[in-house]
Homo-oligomer: A and B are copies of this chain.
């Protein structure tokens, strides 16, 4: 280990290698509050070449390696549960190329998701993976998720109903294999011969190879967006309204659902946007198009919502007001502090038509343990994010909250869904994997793992039970 640190310093400089206890404590956790793990060192490569060399170094010494972007994983994915070295992409933060003719951007893995859009907006383009709740309306106030992390978790976000998830945006990857070798997969075109290694690597949670750079698809921004707010006095009616909007043939960009408790939290904080606090649930829908197209679509959606039992429907055309509403939505997780001291947030998916049912199950899973559950999530693609509130000062509440979360995820699987939408299996959900796959399927995944990483050095202790 001393040898590794010495050589890593020669390679990355003094500041590129952290190994003092005071520094390492900062890297003991990711967004998952329930677990900790101490790395021996954290290293900061700046380029593909440096990443390759430092990974090779770890390989030579047989040291486990864990990738880390901004550490927003909710499953312990970026946590060094087995020690080893953390490879941070914090310094690999450059947008390398914007190629409008081929509609792609080439970025380093540590680029913050939102930076691409900040950069593209003035060109009339967007990278359509907007990780809703991690976005900060006040830019620069906080770290947010990186492209590398998005790829490792195949993240979705608020717009995936229309534009698909991260894997749908990828054209090419530069990866570093566990032995330090660099591979360039794909490029600027749509399709590649041979096996789809991009598909395989996306969502593999850093267990197969490191993502160093990515070629991502960018698309033109529509001229106009219109936001529709619908108020419901029944949570399951809001769930059913989502299905009705989809069945109507409308193609909203985003459909977010917030329940009463979530609205209460938001409206108690600095991002209050005047959302109706008396509603049992609010649906927030965005449509886009040319000015007449967006107007027509929003009118259609409003009509469907009224017919589906919405007790109030408001169409917001003013971009300034709409921006405030979306910022409020995106601050929902942070605002939870106003309604409860702690929370566990889960990340399950369900087939969309089971939405109403799943919401009732989530609420009941909390209620029977004396816990409140807030819901604020991507309804369009059936990706639930129940927030189970608890107070860690009360003995046993934390355990009950975790238990309720697991019960909700198991219900997701029973309803035909999955145990994770966009924050990974990681460490926390390993034991749930057999609920989704047979022993033989898991063996097949392990064989693939071994093909990439024969020494099992990459992010050990993750995904597999």
Q: Which residues of B contact A121 (CB under 8 A)?
A: none
Q: Which residue of B lies closest to A451 (CB)?
A: B447
Given A289-B290, A289-B293, answer yes or no on A351-B188 (Cβ-Cβ < 8 Å): yes
Question: Residue of B at shortest CB range from A209?
Answer: B444
Residues of B within 8 A of A183 (CB): 438, 440-441, 444
Contacts of A202 in B (CB 8 A): 196, 199
Say yes or no: A164-B164 contact (C-beta < 8 A), given A193-B436, A290-B289, A421-B190: yes
Which of A48-56, A364-372, A422-430 is the interface stretch? A422-430
Q: Is A167 an interface residue (CB 8 A)?
A: yes
Measured in the bound complex, the distance between the Cα atoms of B292 and A296 in whole Å is 9
Whether B196 and A200, one on each chain, are in contact in the complex, defined by CB atoms closer than 8 angstroms, is: yes
* Nearest B residue (CB) for A447: B451
With a cutoff of 8 Å between Cβ atoms, the chain B residues found around residue A196 in the complex are 154, 167, 199-200, 202-204
Contacts of A449 in B (CB 8 A): 195
- Confirm or deny: A381 has a beta carbon within 8 angstroms of a beta carbon on chain B: yes
Q: Point out the residues of chain B lying under 8 angstroms from A286, CB to CB.
A: none
User: Do the beta carbons of B189 and A417 come within 8 Å of each other?
Assistant: yes
CB-contacts of A89-122 with B (<8 A): 99-103
Q: Is residue A40 within 8 Å, beta carbon to beta carbon, of the partner chain?
A: no
Contacts of A436 in B (CB 8 A): 192-194
From known contacts A190-B160, A193-B418, A447-B451, infer whether A220 and B292 are also in contact, taking CB-CB under 8 Å.
no
Contact of A156 among B191, B203, B448 (CB under 8 A): B191
Does residue A383 face the partner (Cβ distance < 8 Å to B)?
yes
Q: How far is the CB of A292 from chain B (nearest CB, A)?
A: 4
Docked pose: A437 CA to B197 CA in angstroms: 12
In the complex, A271 Cα to B7 Cα: how many Å? 70
Residues of B within 8 A of A420 (CB): 191, 193
From 165 to 206 in chain A, residues with beta carbon under 8 angstroms from any chain B beta carbon are 165, 167-168, 181, 183, 185, 187-200, 202-204
Give the residue name and chain of the B residue nearest to A464 (CB). B194
Is A353 part of the contact surface with B, judged by Cβ < 8 Å? yes
**A22, CB-defined interface residue at 8 Å:** no
A140 at the interface (CB under 8 A from B): no
Q: Is A458 interfacial (CB 8 A cutoff)?
A: no
Closest chain B residue to A300, Cβ basis? B290
CA gap between A290 and B103 in the complex, in Å? 25
A313 CA / B382 CA spacing, docked (Å): 44
Some 27 contacts from A to B, beta carbons below 8 A apart, are A100-B246, A101-B246, A124-B249, A125-B249, A156-B190, A167-B199, A183-B438, A187-B418, A189-B349, A189-B382, A189-B418, A190-B382, A191-B422, A194-B203, A194-B436, A194-B442, A194-B445, A195-B204, A195-B449, A196-B204, A198-B199, A199-B199, A220-B250, A289-B293, A290-B297, A293-B296, A448-B451
Q: What 3 A-B pairs come out closest when comparing CB atoms?
A: A199-B199, A293-B293, A447-B451
Interface residues of A (CB under 8 A from B): 99-103, 124-125, 154, 156, 160, 164-165, 167-168, 181, 183, 185, 187-200, 202-204, 208, 219-221, 243, 246-247, 249-251, 289-290, 292-293, 296-297, 349-353, 381-383, 416-422, 424-425, 429, 433, 436-438, 440-442, 444-445, 447-452, 463
Other than A167-B199, A290-B297, give 11 A-B pairs with Cβ distance below 8 A.
Answer: A102-B351, A164-B168, A183-B438, A188-B351, A188-B416, A193-B463, A195-B200, A196-B203, A292-B293, A444-B451, A447-B451
